[in-house]
Amino acid sequence: MKRWPSPTLQPEDQAQAQRGTKALPPFERRYYISSRELTAEQLAVAVRSHWAVENRLHWVLDVSFGEDASTIRKDNAPQNLSLLKKIVLNMIRLDTSDQSKTSLRLKRKRAGWDDDVRMKTLGFTRL
């Protein structure tokens, strides 16, 4: 079996993040461990792409569905429910029938409250 190269911490494998709130310190230093030697520009691209995934999916799932507060722990239930939440999130994002600029959470709730909205979100039409 091929061994992974040992990770190294290069001096440029750190980033400073500036925050816009008064409650937190203005700068935060983050360190990254990488098995590749990266230039500052390559590291910035890698870090931004990582946080893009966090902001696009995980944060939305937590805010819209309360995923971090979920108490479901038995067997495959957490994975199954997480998959269903991701499917629902994608369906809500792809729904073009709702032109309002409301949050995904409110769109999800509206689909739960109103049968017609839910049918449109799922792509069904009434007979």
Read off the pLDDT of residues 87-126 as tens digits, 9 standing for 90 and up.
Answer: 988 888 888 777 778 888 888 888 889 998 888 888 888 7
**Does residue 14 register a pLDDT over 60?**
no
By CB atoms closer than 10 A (0-12, 13-18, 19+), residue 38 is middle
* Residue 30 maps to a domain: yes
> Does pTM surpass 0.85?
no
Read off the pLDDT of residues 48-85 as tens digits, 9 standing for 90 and up.
Answer: 888 887 778 888 888 888 888 888 889 999 899 989 98
Quote the CA–CA distance of 58 and 67 in Å, as a whole number.
Answer: 9
Do 83 and 72 form a contact (C-beta atoms < 8 A)?
no
Assess whether 76 and 118 both reside in one domain: yes
Number of domains in the chain: 2
Q: pLDDT category, 25, cuts 50, 70, 90?
A: low
Assess whether 75 and 118 both reside in one domain: yes
* Residue 16 maps to a domain: yes
* Residue 93 maps to a domain: yes
* Residue 1 maps to a domain: no
* Residue 110 maps to a domain: yes
Q: What are phi and psi of 6, to 5 degrees?
A: -70, 135
Assess whether 80 and 114 both reside in one domain: yes
Q: Which range, 5-9, 13-17, 42-46, 73-77, is most confident? A: 73-77
* Residue 89 maps to a domain: yes
* Residue 65 maps to a domain: no
Do 37 and 15 form a contact (C-beta atoms < 8 A)?
no
Do 119 and 126 form a contact (C-beta atoms < 8 A)?
yes
What is the C-alpha R_g of the chain?
21
* Residue 63 maps to a domain: no
Containing structural domain, residue 75? 70-122
